[in-house]
Amino acid sequence: MEVCQLKVRALVVDDSRVMRNMVMQELRRSGLADFEFTEAENGADALKKFHPSKIDIVFIDWNMPKMSGIEFVRKVRSTWKNEQTPLVMITSEKTVGKAEEALDSAGANAFISKPFTAEMLDRKIAPLIKDIEARGSSRGGFFSRLVK
């Protein structure tokens, strides 16, 4: 029996091209899903590329020019109130206050501080991927995004 993997459409947002590549590399290595990546350089660029029907999960930095990551998270949550697209902040911010602001106030699903290890990323992301799988299955759209 062939093993199928969920195809996950991920939006990776960071003003650093190297950081975007690092995040994408670690996600590919994780084997949690077959990721299909879209990149954005800041929150404003990400908003143009984001729609809940086109993106399954977002990985976003906090401090960026034009529009910060936290502004993006607030905007997405206020615009698509009934959507549950996981929003993951990967940031140099490490204070408890910033984590609470992202998770409790803005509506991010996970908060990962840089520098991160592969293990840290896996531990935070695995439950979100399972959630995407469950939501995709309940909508009937899951099987169309399985890849062999």
Contact segment (CB under 8 A) with other proteins among 5-13, 21-29, 48-56, 104-112 equals: 21-29
Contact segment (CB under 8 A) with other proteins among 2-10, 107-115, 123-131, 138-146 equals: 107-115
Q: Does 31 bind other proteins (CB under 8 A)?
A: no
Q: Per-residue b/e over 58-94, b at no fewer than 16 CB within 10 Å?
A: bbbbbebeebbbbbbbbbbbeeeeeeebbbbbbbebe
Q: Does 91 bind other proteins (CB under 8 A)?
A: yes
83 and 53 Cβ atoms separated by less than 8 Å: no
Contact segment (CB under 8 A) with other proteins among 31-39, 78-86, 114-122, 140-148 equals: 114-122
Helix orientation angle between 17-30 and 118-139, rounded to the nearest 10 degrees: 70
Backbone CA torsion sign across 113, 11, 26, 16: negative
Candidates 3, 82, 96, 148; binder of other proteins (CB under 8 A) is: 96
Q: Does 25 bind other proteins (CB under 8 A)?
A: yes
Binding site for other proteins (CB under 8 A): 16-19, 21-22, 25-26, 63, 65, 91-97, 113-117
